[in-house]
């Protein structure tokens, strides 16, 4: 594992949701590399175990707990499992999310409901369960993985954009409520990330437009001045940085990692 470095996070207890792949798995690996004890949560138990095993093979401490964040009872069980293994979580990374494209007039109500439940209510459930212990100990970090869609609108992703705008609002409200309690709450706003979710959306868009998946991925990349997709490790590195002991004055912020695509 890499050295703990400036983060000062050695032995902290971290929960990462959506950790079965993509950004969530990258965040879990980054915190484990910073010598944290990392609980990985996601619905897909098989993929989740694979993510935890990758961390363990590198010498990290990882605990895999299957959990649907849209269900408060399952989030409570996640907290109990982490507490039984290590104690109360000190860092929460809300990374669980879904993103499906659909023209608004053609969007099924189920897509709207599922997107809001996962991307916004899921984070709400986790904050409700894990924030009290952070307040009690006078130290905590909540990092919400939002999106540039939390700051600007995009066509054909009304549900996703609405959920991420809501997540940013939750971030700012919690930051104010916890400002004097030793807890920081921040958001990371990635652009198009080079992961399976982006590739799947590119494939679906290709089917609808007659273009190839690679052509769609190039269009995604071209939306950023750097003309590239964002590596999951770049987002994960920022998450570790935001959790650092020395960054206690940074709260209520929404930081873009998007190759310069959105400058607000």
Confirm whether 160 is a catalytic residue: yes
In this structure, what CATH number is given to the domain that contains residue 128? 3.40.50.720
User: Which residue is listed with tokens 């809300």?
Assistant: 94
Identify whether residues 31 and 129 lie together within a single domain.
yes
Quote the pLDDT of residue 4. Answer: 46
The three-state secondary structure class of 241 is: helix
The pLDDT of 140-159, averaged and rounded, is 96
CA distances from 247 to 6, 132, 239, 243, 251 (A): 10, 21, 12, 7, 9
Are 152 and 172 in a shared domain? yes
Closest to 114 measured CA to CA, from 122, 103, 124: 122
The string of pLDDT tens digits covering residues 50-89 is: 999 999 999 999 999 999 999 999 999 999 999 999 999 9
pTM score, whole prediction: 0.95
Q: How does pLDDT run across 194-240, given as a tens digit for each residue? A: 999 899 989 988 988 899 999 999 999 999 999 999 999 999 999 99
Q: What tens digit of pLDDT does each residue of 76-125 get?
A: 999 999 999 999 999 999 999 999 989 999 999 999 999 999 999 999 99
- The answer to whether position 186 is within a domain reads yes
Do 181 and 200 belong together in one domain?
A: no
> 109 and 199 share a domain?
no
Catalytic residue among 124, 154, 160, 192: 160
Kindly state whether residues 62 and 183 are assigned to the same domain.
yes
Q: Which domain holds residue 57?
A: 9-191+232-248
In a 3-state reduction of DSSP, which class is residue 157? strand
pLDDT digits (tens, 9 = 90+) for 204-216: 889 888 999 999 9
Higher pLDDT, residue 186 or 197: 186
SS3 251: coil
Is 236 found in the same domain as 210? no
The answer, yes or no, to whether residue 45 has pLDDT greater than 90, is: yes
* Cross-strand bridge partners of residue 140: 183
Q: Could you tell me if residue 211 is inside a domain?
A: yes
Query: What is the phi/psi pair of residue 244, to 5°?
Result: -60, 145
Token pair 């399952």 is found at 74
Clarify whether residues 120 and 219 are in a common domain.
no
Q: Which two tokens stand for residue 97?
A: 């999310």
Q: Using 50, 70 and 90 to split pLDDT, how confident is the model at 2?
A: very low
Number of domains in the chain: 2
Cα 40 → chain centroid: 12
């Amino acid at each position: 594992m890499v050295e703990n470095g400036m983060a000062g996070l050695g032995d902290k207890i971290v929960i990462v949701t959506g950790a079965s792949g993509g950004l969530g798995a990258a965040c879990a690996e980054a915190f484990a590399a910073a010598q944290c004890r990392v609980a990985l949560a996601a619905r897909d138990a098989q993929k989740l175990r694979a993510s935890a095993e990758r961390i363990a093979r590198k010498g990290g401490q990882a605990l895999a707990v299957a959990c649907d964040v849209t269900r408060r009872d399952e989030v409570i069980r996640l907290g109990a499992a982490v507490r039984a293994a290590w104690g109360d979580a000190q860092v929460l990374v809300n990374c669980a999310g879904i993103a499906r494209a659909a023209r608004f007039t053609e969007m099924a109500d189920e897509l709207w409901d599922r997107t809001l439940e996962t991307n916004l209510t899921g984070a709400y459930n986790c904050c409700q369960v894990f924030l009290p212990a952070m307040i009690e100990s006078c130290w905590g970090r909540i990092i919400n993985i939002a999106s540039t869609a939390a700051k600007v609108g995009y066509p054909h992703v009304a549900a996703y954009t609405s959920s991420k705008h809501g997540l940013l609002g939750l971030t700012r409200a919690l930051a104010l409520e916890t400002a004097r309690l030793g807890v920081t709450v921040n958001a990371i706003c990635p652009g198009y990330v080079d992961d399976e979710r982006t590739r799947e959306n590119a494939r679906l868009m290709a089917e609808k437009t007659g273009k190839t998946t690679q052509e769609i991925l190039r269009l995604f990349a071209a939306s950023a001045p750097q003309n590239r997709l964002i590596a999951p490790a770049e987002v994960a590195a920022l998450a570790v940085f935001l959790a650092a002991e020395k960054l206690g004055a940074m709260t209520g912020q929404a930081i873009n990692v998007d190759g310069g695509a959105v400058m607000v």
